[in-house]
Structures are given as structure tokens and as C-alpha cells.
């Protein structure tokens, strides 16, 4: 599985869980993304090891100066987990109704990044200087 396919699945999962209104699915995804970021045991790399084939990420990248020796995909997982989990907590626990669009926007944006191969958040993270 490439990172592009992973983005498509994550976007679809977010939208499906929002549609059926099961917040626990979102929290489970956030926990999974934080686990992947903390351990660097990613579903994409594990699946590539199982099939014994290296698949390119399939996402648009540009050359930038590497300032931090921290993988951009790991940083992306942390950013998504914090933004998604934080907005869901604000929405359902603190009743801040203004943030209802953030999880939906993130779901459509991540799904679109999986379809198009261009993830603006990942490009921004790489522009900042992550590897």
C-alpha cells in the first residue's frame, strides 16, 4: 500500500464515521495515527514488507532544505490526529458548535489528496523542513 492509497482510505474512513455519527471511530483513528507516528511502524511499510515490494509514495513532493531529521509522514500523522481529535473533543465534549466543519473538511481534503496525489499539509510540512 502506498501513502497515496493510505490517504484515500483515511479520508474515506473519516467521512464514513462522520456520516454514521460514531465518534469512537474518529478517536480510534487518532489513536492509531499517533501510534504509527510514535513507533514509526506504519501500515504502509508493513504491507510493503509483507508483499516484499517497495511502492513509491505516489504523492507530489518538491525539493526543500531538510532542517529536521524527522519524517514528514510521521509529522503529518501527528498533525492530523491532533487536529481531528481536538476538533471532535471540542465539538462533542465542550459543545463548541463552530468547529463542526473541521472534521468534514479534513475528511474531504484527505480523500482528495488520496485521489489527486497532492496533499497541501504534507507539502507544507516538507516546506518547513521535515525529511
The three grid cell numbers given for residue 85, joined into one nine-digit string: 481529535
Query: Does the pLDDT value for residue 27 go beyond 90?
Result: yes
Tally the residues of the chain.
131
Domain range annotation of the chain: 3-128
Q: Name the average pLDDT for the chain.
A: 89
Q: How far is CA 95 from CA 29, 89, 90, 91, in A?
A: 21, 9, 6, 5
pLDDT digits (tens, 9 = 90+) for 31-74: 999 999 999 888 888 888 888 877 777 777 777 788 888 888 99
Amino acid at each position: 500500500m502506498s501513502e497515496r492509497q493510505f490517504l484515500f482510505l483515511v479520508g474515506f474512513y473519516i467521512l464514513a464515521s462522520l456520516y454514521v455519527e460514531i465518534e469512537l471511530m474518529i478517536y480510534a483513528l487518532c489513536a492509531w495515527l499517533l501510534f504509527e507516528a510514535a513507533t514509526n511502524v506504519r501500515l504502509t511499510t508493513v504491507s510493503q514488507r509483507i508483499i516484499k515490494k517497495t511502492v513509491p509514495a505516489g504523492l507530489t513532493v518538491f525539493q526543500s532544505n531538510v532542517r529536521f531529521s524527522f519524517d514528514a509522514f510521521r509529522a503529518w500523522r501527528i498533525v492530523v490526529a491532533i487536529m481531528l481529535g481536538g476538533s471532535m473533543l471540542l465539538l462533542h465534549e465542550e459543545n463548541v458548535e463552530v468547529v463542526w466543519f473541521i472534521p468534514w473538511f479534513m475528511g474531504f481534503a484527505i480523500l482528495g489528496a488520496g485521489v489527486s496525489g497532492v496533499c497541501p499539509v504534507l507539502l507544507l510540512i516538507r516546506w518547513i523542513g521535515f525529511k
